[in-house]
Amino acid sequence: MQIALDAMGGDHAPGPIVAGAVQAVQADPEIRVVLVGDRAQIETCLAAAGAPSDRLDVFHCTQVVTMEETPVEALRKKPDNSISRCWQLLAERKVDAIVSAGNTGAMVAGGLRLRRFLKNVRRPGIAAVMPTLRGPCVLIDVGANVSPKAQHLFQYGVMGEIFVKHVLKREKPTIGLMNVGSEEAKGNDLAKETHALFNSSTLREQFVGNIEGRDIHRGAADVVVTDGFVGNVVLKVCEGVFEFLMKMTFKEVLGALNTERGQGQQALQNLVDRYDYSEHGGAPLLGIDGICIICHGSSGAKAIKNALAVAANYARVKLNERIVQELEATTPVGVEEDS
């Protein structure tokens, strides 16, 4: 299992990124990581991590896309940037997967530029795993495609369903459409068209119809389908509410305790660690021929280690082969092939 890791991407790169790679190869003997970025900086970090391994290589490149840059422009102006080099290694089949905590837009744009989509996939979408009262669900798309068509959303449902079945190991996952009310006639034109596509497809038995914002965390659907604009806002709103409420709870609930403050703080910290959005193992860009994992910009070593393990797991469960099979089987009635 060869994984290219963008060593230069992320708020704190390359230190914790390289450290995460070291931890990942130590934890899983099947993982080999190609660290993509400035060789001198990477080697300094590797020396600091103190754990040389023959399963850690460096692919040198000279440029970095920063978090603030406009993705398409940055990729064009900086041909030797670490994100484009990761994509190149994937396209040349020198690696099975790529992982980056860098500029999300540039990561997606790099993939769109190559157009190495799986067979029948019209647009890739980013799938984010979210906690709910009934275990994790998947929200797709969280930002790859901010102006999708109904057919794209339908395919996100198909890809999300395969993901939940084979990665989250749940039988017959349910699919819900993010909307402003549960009635069929609710929402904007995109939501109405997408609703009709699911209802006319072979997935209609798993389709639970429209779900509302508050239903996500109640676990109303295993896969929540939405456009990349709404999904991105939802993901980040969750992060904001989480941050807000945990700050309030730390201050007010722990503040009300005296002798048991220590144990209260430990329990709250466990909860924070479990749901901390920046510590998750990254979100896959589904629909790409290859595995592409996008991590939170603030990812630390642990998050990178998790993301590398997640990438290895996707390859093991043959996620992409299953997506291709399912897309061939589920095309809804009346959808033209070339749209």
Q: Return the number of the residue (250 or 331) whose C-beta is nearest its own copies.
A: 250
133: number of Cβ within 10 Å: 8
- By CB under 8 A, residue 196 contacts its own copies: no
DSSP state of 277: G
Stretch that binds its own copies, among 10-18, 52-60, 149-157, 175-183 (CB under 8 A): 175-183
- Per CB under 8 A, which of residues 226..245 are in contact with its own copies? 226, 228-230, 232-245
- By CB under 8 A, residue 213 contacts its own copies: yes
Number of residues that bind its own copies (CB under 8 A): 64
Residue that is written with structure tokens 């965390």 in the block: 217
- By CB under 8 A, residue 143 contacts its own copies: yes
Q: Tell me how far, at minimum, the Cβ of 25 lies from its own copies, in Å.
A: 32
Q: Tell me how far, at minimum, the Cβ of 143 lies from its own copies, in Å.
A: 6
C-alpha dihedral, 275 to 279 to 285 to 291, nearest 10°: -130
Rg (CA), the chain: 20
Q: Return the number of the residue (43 or 212) whose C-beta is nearest its own copies.
A: 212
Q: Return the number of the residue (259 or 339) whose C-beta is nearest its own copies.
A: 259
Kindly report the backbone phi and psi dihedral angles of residue 336, in degrees, each rounded to the nearest multiple of 5, phi listed first: -70, 150
Q: Give the C-alpha separation, 183 to 314, whole Å.
A: 36
- By CB under 8 A, residue 248 contacts its own copies: yes
Write the CB contacts of 15 (distance below 8 Å, at least 6 apart in sequence). 45, 48
Stretch that binds its own copies, among 19-27, 158-166, 223-231, 300-308 (CB under 8 A): 223-231
- By CB under 8 A, residue 133 contacts its own copies: yes
Q: Return the number of the residue (111 or 228) whose C-beta is nearest its own copies.
A: 228
* CA pseudo-torsion sign 219, 220, 224, 226: negative
Q: Report which of 63, 110, 58 is spatially closest to residue 84, judged by C-alpha positions.
A: 110
The Cα angle at residue 119 between residues 89 and 2, in degrees rounded to 5: 25
- By CB under 8 A, residue 217 contacts its own copies: yes
Q: Tell me how far, at minimum, the Cβ of 157 lies from its own copies, in Å.
A: 17
Quote the strand ranges of 145-258, DSSP E.
175-178, 207-211, 223-225
Q: Return the number of the residue (97 or 216) whose C-beta is nearest its own copies.
A: 216
Cα 99 to Cα 21, 145, 230, 249, 311: the distances in Å are 10, 19, 24, 34, 8
- 3 state SS of 11: coil
Q: Return the number of the residue (23 or 179) whose C-beta is nearest its own copies.
A: 179
Q: Return the number of the residue (185 or 333) whose C-beta is nearest its own copies.
A: 185
Q: Return the number of the residue (116 or 217) whose C-beta is nearest its own copies.
A: 217
Residue that is written with structure tokens 């103190």 in the block: 50
Q: Report which of 167, 107, 70 is spatially closest to residue 297, judged by C-alpha positions.
A: 107
Q: Give the C-alpha separation, 185 to 188, whole Å.
A: 9
Residue from 267, 316, 321, 325 in contact with its own copies (CB under 8 A): 267
Stretch that binds its own copies, among 198-206, 246-254, 308-316, 328-336 (CB under 8 A): 246-254
According to DSSP, the β-strands at 2-6 and 32-37 are parallel
- Per CB under 8 A, which of residues 51..70 are in contact with its own copies? 68, 70
Residue from 48, 79, 80, 188 in contact with its own copies (CB under 8 A): 188
Q: Report which of 149, 202, 157 is spatially closest to residue 177, judged by C-alpha positions.
A: 157
The contact set with its own copies (CB under 8 A) reads: 68, 70, 105, 131-133, 143, 146-147, 178, 180-181, 183, 185-189, 191, 212-218, 226, 228-230, 232-249, 252-253, 255-260, 263-264, 266-268, 270-271, 275
